[in-house]
Amino acid sequence: MTIATGQPELLGEILQDALGWEPLVEHAISPPLERQWGIAPGSAGARASVYRSAGTSRGMVRVVAGAERPRTRAMATRWAGVEMIVTRELDELHARLSRYPAFHSFLPPSTWDWTEYGSNVHRAFIGSVPGGTHLAFTMGLTRPVGREFPTAAAQVGHVFDVPLVTTRFPECKRFYCETLGMVPFLQSEFRDHLWHRLWKLPPDSPARLDIYKGNAPGTGLGGIELQGYEPFIVDPEPAQVDRFDGGACLLTYTSDDIEAACAAVAADPAARLLSRPEALDFAPYDGARMFAFQGPAGERVELVERAWSPVAPAP
């Protein structure tokens, strides 16, 4: 996930010093890349930095310059943040992050039971960081039935889930499941839930939460958590065609057949194609082709034909 912020150095410091992540690569935001993303020249700064949990090849965060995300309602539309797996000492991690003035915790470590929806019991907390985006940290306490829960070697592992907030739930579900071929492995709908109290949603307001999975290895990678709400709950901020959102702004996925994926997106009237497959000869793309589009909620996605960096072999 790419996160835009007016304080990119500070966000990089939090990722490295508080989470223990490592820098993978720093790259120029060149005119060809801006054209592929469909953004105005200079609007994301001159350079981007990619960070990862040590040794991983997926679930990274890229930081670019940009505006802060205004949050005037309970839910920020389009990409709302990222969820990272925590393997141990979740409460200690919360205490460590809370020492940063730029980290604002609004859900302290709490235990959640999603077993009635086919998931598991986990402990989690959520806070906001520069860019106005949400970071959620989740540690599994039990195993879900019939699928894996993410695992990692580090205390704070990879991004395994990204929330997409929309008031157009059926259209977004159709796009990701039918046009892009993702598979739902959690589907839920409720009107009165701990979720309502967490986000201060009006009592008895309908909420939907599904998780869709691509073909990344295992079931603990690559999830899109589609959240659907009534329009009065969600920020009305419209997507801009030539600017990134503040905060979480661009999701990067790989595709085994990038030409077919581009053709499917181009044929879907609910999406807006921003570019067509083109090879980029600099890191982290290193000659891979990519293209970008906006989905039904105005969310921005780039598809790349291969992962950015292989996992280094064990010594």
Q: pLDDT tens for residues 185-214?
A: 889 898 987 788 888 889 889 999 999 988
Of 247, 212, 87, nearest in space to 158 by CA: 87
Percent of the chain with pLDDT over 90: 73
pLDDT of 195: 83
Q: Residue 123: beta bridge partners? A: 111, 139
Question: Looking at this protein, which amino acid is placed at residue 196?
Answer: H
pLDDT of 121: 93
Region 15-24: mean pLDDT is 96
Residue 74 three-state SS: coil
Name the residue with higher pLDDT: 74 or 271: 271
Q: Does 218 have pLDDT greater than 70?
A: no
Region 74-89: mean pLDDT is 93
Interatomic CA distance for residues 245 and 263, integer angstroms: 25
Q: How many residues does the chain have?
A: 315
pLDDT of 42: 97
pLDDT one-digit tens code per residue, 104-120:
998 899 998 888 877 88
Q: Are 299 and 79 spatial neighbours (Cβ–Cβ below 8 Å)?
A: yes
pLDDT of 106: 85
Number of H helices, E strands in the chain: 6, 18
Name the residue with higher pLDDT: 21 or 200: 21
Region 291-302: mean pLDDT is 97
Peptide bond into 313 cis (omega under 30): no
pLDDT of 117: 78
Alpha-carbon torsion 276, 277, 281, 284, what sign? positive
pLDDT of 119: 83
Name the residue with higher pLDDT: 118 or 258: 258
Instruction: List the chain domain ranges.
Output: 2-304
Region 22-35: mean pLDDT is 96
Question: What one-character DSSP code corresponds to residue 234?
Answer: B
Residues 6 or more apart whose CB falls under 8 angstroms from that of 175 comprise: 268, 270, 271, 295, 296
Task: Give 260's pLDDT tier (boundaries 50, 70, 90).
Answer: very high
Three-class HEC string of the chain: CEEEECCHHHHHHHHHHHCCCEEEEEEECCHHHHHHHCCCCCCCCCEEEEEECCCCCCCCEEEEECCCCCCCCCECCEECEEEEEECCCHHHHHHHHCCCCCCEEEEEEEEEECHHHCCCEEEEEEEEECCCEEEEEEEECCCCCCCCCCCCCCCEEEEEEEEEEECCHHHHHHHHHHHCCCEEEEEEEECCCHHHHHHCCCCCCCEEEEEEECCCCCCCCCEEEEEECCHHHECCCCCCCCCCCCEEEEEEEECCCHHHHHHHHHHCCCCEECCCCEECCCCCCCCCEEEEEECCCCCEEEEECCCCCCCCCCC
pLDDT of 314: 35
Task: Give 236's pLDDT tier (boundaries 50, 70, 90).
Answer: confident
Task: Give 69's pLDDT tier (boundaries 50, 70, 90).
Answer: confident
Interatomic CA distance for residues 201 and 254, integer angstroms: 34
Look over the chain and give the mean of its residue pLDDT values, rounded to a whole number.
Answer: 92
pLDDT of 207: 95
Q: Does 310 have pLDDT greater than 60?
A: no
CATH number (3.40.50.720, 3.10.180.10, 3.40.50.920, 3.30.70.890) of 2-304 reads 3.10.180.10
Region 51-72: mean pLDDT is 92
Q: Are 26 and 64 spatial neighbours (Cβ–Cβ below 8 Å)?
A: no
Region 35-57: mean pLDDT is 96
